[in-house]
Structure 1
């Protein structure tokens, strides 16, 4: 449905101009100085092993991407939460997952893969409890979910956990000073053959576990991602939606969960040639490869690099619709979704000379797009060895 709408929007770009913000400079087609009011960024901030850059652009009527960076004297946390069906799940994750991580890390005296998994599980349980309490007055909350990408740097080790198709890519310096992009996460998306095979092996008695619909592989003909927080109607029979919601209607009740909230987790001891990590929602990777993104980060100055990556993706999105970015950035939210998704980009730079050193780092909590900044709870981990 969305691809058909996108084609319609592309074919009707001139009529769509009546939806855009017009100003006195709008007639100047060459004016690239006009800002993009749907784009937010923090150009460069400090974290425990270097600096980070952060940018978000909105496409949906209500932004469904939520994100955060938490900095402390000995740790850094990044969260990118790409919601679908609405913003409730991604907002809930942004409010709760990091707090669960800090609590469980404090109880265990460390950060580990198991701590990350338990933080994801606690977040899933909490959101499903919220669904149970509110589905009587808002049944569609059972169809709201979110991808979830998390990274934590702790004592020189990077921990990454992922549900869905957001992606973490590390840039490392190879031979002849060439940057090498390595994807740290798996894409849990039915467009990938290995994901379809995984689903079929889990559901051997269900011939419709993955279905090609409008040229796109979808799980039960509905959703592309195979792992998420939320999407309760695809996990527990008690949350199944009645036929009055045809988009989410299943021909028969599920006998076991169709989706899972079990993250893929990886650990990497940071090496001297590891230079940066890009965390981004799938809206970025739809328009550029891992290597293209890594080369942009390596080639250009650090300040504003997340915004530069984001704008590079938006330029590609505009060209696909035979537009320029100067035209695209005038399009209102909602209509903008015909051209690109909400996109979140966080670039974490790794300065190895800071490893093991005590430096002054603001203990800061930054929420993407909402531009809220406060004190991070990472300070409670100060005493952990």
Structure 2
């Protein structure tokens, strides 16, 4: 963020985050000839003054906060079945063929994503945005792609992450555990540890 975007963030963080996601989607679409036809999901977190946590996501990348060791999902997974009306209103359809997972036009297993130019007319890229005030009981935040969440519950991820003081080691352990559980999807993971 630069200039007025930065100033706007302090006035209206939610609007600023939405605009950043929109600009990201536009940038990916404008470079689709270089990047290919695919797309991406995303999850972001912004901590203000060590107290207010803002999280946003598009797709099935997820943020999970540990509060006193209890996992709290901070994001919404954007699945085709839950947003079927929006997809159909835009002329698309949701099908479980091929396979057993609901997909937009039988292709994409999320209803919101960046890019995916061939399906863009049926997809949304606006994020769900949540915010919360952290208290002294909030200790770990796990941000990860669906390759982790397909093989691990929110609580399992928090339990593993909390065992490590070093957040980078925690993220590596979560990734290793997802691979050990035969995750077949992309696995990206960041762990943030808060001071008590």
Same fold (TM over 0.5): yes
Contact between 1:167 and 1:281, CA under 8 Å: does it hold in 2? yes
SS in 1 for 2:30: helix
Map of 1:301 onto structure 2: 164
Q: Distance in 2 between matches of 1:277 and 1:154?
A: 15
TM-score scaled by structure 1? 0.46
- For 1:56-135, what aligned pairs fall within 5 Å after superposition? 101-102=1-2, 105-108=5-8, 110=10, 112-131=13-32, 134=33
Q: Does 1:168 align with 2:63?
A: yes
Alpha-carbon offset, residue 103 of structure 1: 5.0
Of residues 87, 96, 109, the one that matches 1:212 is 96
Please report how far the alpha carbon of residue 301 of structure 1 lies from its aligned counterpart in structure 2 after TM superposition: 2.7
1:266-303 CA-partner distances (Å, limit 9, x unpaired): 111112211110001111111110011111122x2323
* 1:149 aligned to which of 20, 39, 43: 43
Partner of 2:192: 348
Rg larger in 1 or in 2?
1
1:183 to 54, 65, 73: 73
Contact preservation (8 Å) 1:113, 1:267: no
**CA 1:109–1:262 in structure 2 vs 1: closer, same or farther (change >3 Å)?**
closer
Q: Give the drift of 1:127.
A: 2.3
Normalised by the length of structure 2, the TM-score is 0.87
The unaligned stretches of length 5 or more in structure 2 are none
Residues 307, 102 of structure 1: alpha-carbon distance in 2 compared, 3 angstrom cutoff: farther
- Map 1:365-376 onto structure 2 (within 5 A): none
Structure 1 pair 232/297, CA: closer, same or farther in 2 (3 Å)? same
SS in 2 for 1:260: coil
Query: What secondary structure sits across from 2:148 in the alignment?
Result: helix
Contact 1:145–1:229 (CA under 8 A) maintained in structure 2 = yes
- The answer as to whether partners of 2:65 and 2:71 remain within 8 angstroms in 1 is yes
Per the alignment, do residues 217 and 102 of structure 1 end up closer, same or farther by CA in structure 2, a change over 3 Å counting? same
Please state if 1:316 is matched with 2:160. Answer: no
Q: Which runs of 5+ in 1 are unaligned?
A: 1-100, 174-178, 236-256, 318-338, 353-385
Per-residue deviation, 1:189: 2.1
Rounded Cα–Cα distance in structure 1 between residues aligned with 2:193 and 2:148? 19
Match in the other structure for 1:382: none
Question: Residue 205 and residue 274 in structure 1: after superposition, are their counterparts in 2 closer, same or farther (change >3 A)?
Answer: closer
* Counterpart contact for 1:104–1:118, Cα < 8 Å: no
- The match for 1:260 among 121, 124, 132 is 124
Q: Secondary structure of the equivalent of 1:234?
A: helix
- Higher RCO, Cα 8 Å, sep 6+: 1
